[in-house]
């Protein structure tokens, strides 16, 4: 295993006069010495822009891969999962706001070197690491160093997709699977609720797909804000025509949280309807999340209709898969095993 010294200098920035301009994500924060970026993970030092949250771990857990959610990446396995603090979005409904909307240094974290994280992951018997809980793109340098330490481990990100093209393309060289949250399908929603732009996120999804990294999408359905039939249809048609009908999409049920306590939980019927719309638009793998249903989280072979993977909550039964083939009609399915 390579011995890597913690490198805390940001990889992507430039200096303009007295300020550092961060080039990691589209916000392009201008950070003076002593200041921090919007994500609270980059800080202006006397001589460099630092990746201030490097190695600062807030959460460690071993989770079912389905919890991420990733349904087509080693289904039925567990994955070593870690997170830090901070985020480059400011979603009013964030379910992890205690770690995402905090300043690094004001929330308890422990420093773990890349080598320690790799050792922990191996002790847990996991052959992949998920960077999750808060936004992993702002942990960029740390993720790269961990993967440099252990290139044999799978690298999984659960992300909002807000990152610039150059760092993302470099990251794609070490990433194996990503779930991108598509928060809504209008720029108005993104600007008002999340403090970002839709097109920046869609560009990331296109790049990840183009780079042939395994990609799944999640859409949290919020009553009255992003749940119109027209908006869901446009989202599904975009997946079909810009990415592929084979990209799995998870429609998830909203519950009130953080700064959005005034919006009710999503009715179960609305989430199920989103899945129906996706199927009507020609998507082959549409799922529901945060609700238990009889069959809306199962994977069906699009050729012959056989249930190949059955799911009840996080209980997963591989029913009719031989390697990546449907055991019934032998069609090769887009499932990494």
Nearer to ligand SF4, 83 or 154 (CB): 83
Nearer to ligand SF4, 53 or 297 (CB): 53
Closest CA to 278 of 310, 232, 242: 232
Distance, in Å, from the CA atom of 32 to the CA atom of 46, rounded to the nearest integer, reads 9
Residues that bind ligand SF4 (CB under 6 A): 22, 24-25, 27-29, 37-39, 41-42, 88, 138
Q: How is residue 29 written in tokens?
A: 């924060």
The pair phi, psi for residue 295, each rounded to 5°, is -145, 0
Considering the complex, what minimum distance in angstroms separates the CB of residue 38 from ligand SF4?
A: 4
Please state the closest distance from residue 137 (CB atom) to ligand SF4, in A: 7
Nearer to ligand SF4, 175 or 286 (CB): 175
- Closer residue to ligand SF4 (CB): 143 or 236: 143
Query: How far, in Å, CA of 275 to CA of 130, rounded?
Result: 26
Tokens of 60: 């460690």
CB 74, min distance to ligand SF4, A: 29
Q: Is 175 or 243 the residue whose CB approaches ligand SF4 more closely?
A: 175
213-229 burial, b at 16+ Cβ within 10 Å, e below that, comes to bbbbbbbbbbeebbbee
**Distance of alpha carbon 7 from its chain centroid, rounded?**
24
Scanning the structure block, which residue is given the tokens 């953080």? 258
Integer Cα distance of 222 and 270 in angstroms: 10
């Amino acid at each position: 295993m390579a011995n890597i010294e913690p490198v805390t200098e940001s990889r992507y920035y430039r200096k303009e006069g007295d300020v550092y301009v961060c080039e990691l994500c589209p916000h392009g924060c201008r950070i003076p010495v002593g200041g921090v970026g919007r994500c609270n993970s980059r800080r202006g030092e006397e001589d460099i822009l630092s990746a201030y949250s490097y190695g600062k771990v807030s959460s460690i857990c071993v989770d079912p891969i389905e919890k991420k959610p990733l349904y087509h990446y080693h289904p039925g396995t567990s994955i070593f999962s870690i997170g830090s603090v901070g985020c480059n979005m400011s979603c009013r409904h964030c379910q992890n706001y205690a770690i995402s909307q905090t300043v690094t240094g004001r929330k308890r974290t422990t420093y773990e070197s890349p080598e320690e994280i790799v050792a922990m992951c191996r002790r847990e018997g996991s052959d992949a690491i998920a960077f999750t809980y808060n936004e992993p793109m702002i942990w960029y340098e740390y993720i790269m160093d961990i993967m440099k330490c252990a290139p044999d481990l799978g690298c999984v990100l659960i992300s909002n997709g807000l990152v610039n093209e150059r760092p993302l393309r470099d990251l794609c060289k070490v990433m194996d699977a990503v779930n991108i949250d598509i928060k809504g399908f209008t720029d108005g929603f993104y600007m008002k609720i999340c403090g970002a732009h839709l097109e920046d996120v869609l560009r990331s999804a296109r790049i990840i797909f183009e780079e042939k990294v395994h990609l799944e999408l999640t859409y949290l359905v919020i009553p009255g804000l992003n749940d119109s039939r027209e908006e869901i249809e446009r989202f599904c048609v975009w997946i079909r025509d810009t990415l592929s009908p084979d990209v799995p999409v998870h429609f998830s049920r909203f519950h009130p949280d953080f700064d959005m306590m005034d919006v009710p939980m999503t009715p179960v019927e609305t989430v199920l309807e989103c899945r129906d719309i996706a199927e009507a638009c020609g998507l082959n793998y549409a799922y529901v999340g945060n609700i238990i249903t009889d069959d809306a989280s199962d994977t069906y072979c699009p050729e012959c209709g056989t249930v190949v993977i059955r799911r009840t909550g996080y209980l997963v039964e591989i029913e009719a898969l031989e390697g990546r083939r449907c055991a019934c009609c032998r069609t090769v399915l887009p499932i990494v095993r």
